[in-house]
Amino acid sequence: MSERKRSLSSGALMLMTFTAVFSFGNIIDSSVNIGLATIPSYIFGTVFYFLPFALMIGEFASASSDSESGINSWIKKSLGARWAFLGSWSYFFVNLFFFTSLLPKILIYASYTFVGRNVFDGKTVLISIISIVLFWAVTIISTKGVSWISKITSISGVARIILGLGFIVLSFGVILFLGKAPAQEFTAETIMPKFNWSYFMVLAWILQAVGGAESIGVYIKDVKGGNKTFIRTMVISTAIVGGLYALGAVSVGLVVPSEVLQGNFSNGLFDAFAILGANYGVGNIITNIVGFIMMLASLGSLVLWTAAPVKVLFSEIPEGIFGKWIAKTDKKGTPVNALYVQAVIVTVLLLVPALGIGSVDSLLEMLINMTASTSLIPVLFFLVGYIVLRAKKDDMERSFKVGSKNFGIAIGVLLLALFVFVFVISSIPAPQDFAAYFNGTLAEGATNPVFVLLYNVLGLVFFLGFAEICWRKYEKKVGKAVANEWDEEEVSEIA
Which positions ≥6 away from 154 have C-beta within 8 Å? Answer: none
User: pTM higher than 0.85, yes or no?
Assistant: yes
According to the model, what pLDDT value does residue 2 have?
A: 44
Residue 5 placed within a domain: no
C-alpha distances in Å from residue 26, one per residue of 33, 50, 318 = 11, 15, 36
Give CA–CA dist 64/220, Å, rounded.
Answer: 10
Which positions ≥6 away from 285 have C-beta within 8 Å? Answer: 116
Residue 464 placed within a domain: yes
Question: Which amino acid does the sequence have at 481?
Answer: A
Question: Which amino acid does the sequence have at 316?
Answer: E
Give CA–CA dist 258/227, Å, rounded.
Answer: 44
Strand partners, 223: 8
User: Other CB atoms closer than 10 Å to residue 235's CB: what's the count?
Assistant: 14
Helix (H, G, I), strand (E, B) or coil at 223: strand
Q: What burial class does residue 66 get, using C-beta atoms within 10 Å of its C-beta: 0-12 exposed, 13-18 middle, 19+ buried? A: exposed
Residue 4 placed within a domain: no
| Number of domains present in the structure of the chain | 1
Average confidence (pLDDT) per 10 residues, the chain, 495 residues: 60 78 88 95 91 85 62 83 89 89 94 94 89 94 67 71 92 96 95 92 88 68 80 84 92 96 92 96 92 88 81 78 82 83 93 74 85 89 93 86 92 95 92 92 83 87 91 89 69 53
Which positions ≥6 away from 383 have C-beta within 8 Å? Answer: 56, 412, 415, 416, 419
Residue 353 placed within a domain: yes
- Direct distance between the N- and C-terminal alpha carbons of the chain, in angstroms, rounded to an integer: 40
Residue 100 placed within a domain: yes
According to the model, what pLDDT value does residue 281 have?
A: 93
According to the model, what pLDDT value does residue 153 have?
A: 63
According to the model, what pLDDT value does residue 4 have?
A: 42
One DSSP character per residue, 40-107 reads: HHHHHHIIIIIHHHHHHHHHHHHTTTTS---HHHHHHHHH-HHHHHHHHHHHHHHHHHHHHHHHHHHH
CATH of the domain at 338: 1.20.1740.10
Give CA–CA dist 1/3, Å, rounded.
Answer: 7
According to the model, what pLDDT value does residue 488 have?
A: 56
Strand partners, 8: 223
Q: Helix axis angle, 360-392 relative to 51-62, nearest 10°?
A: 50
Question: Which amino acid does the sequence have at 301?
Answer: S
Residue 221 placed within a domain: yes
According to the model, what pLDDT value does residue 1 have?
A: 44
Question: Which amino acid does the sequence have at 242?
Answer: G
Phi, psi of 320 (to 5 degrees): 95, 0
- What range defines the domain where residue 379 resides? 10-486
Give CA–CA dist 357/455, Å, rounded.
Answer: 12
- Chain centroid to CA 175: how far? 33
By C-alpha distance, which of 264, 262, 268, 263 is closest to 167?
Answer: 268
Give CA–CA dist 130/364, Å, rounded.
Answer: 15
Residue 423 placed within a domain: yes
By C-alpha distance, which of 431, 381, 193 is closest to 389?
Answer: 381
Give CA–CA dist 213/143, Å, rounded.
Answer: 29
Residue 493 placed within a domain: no
CA-based diameter of the chain, in Å?
77
Which positions ≥6 away from 352 have C-beta within 8 Å? Answer: 455
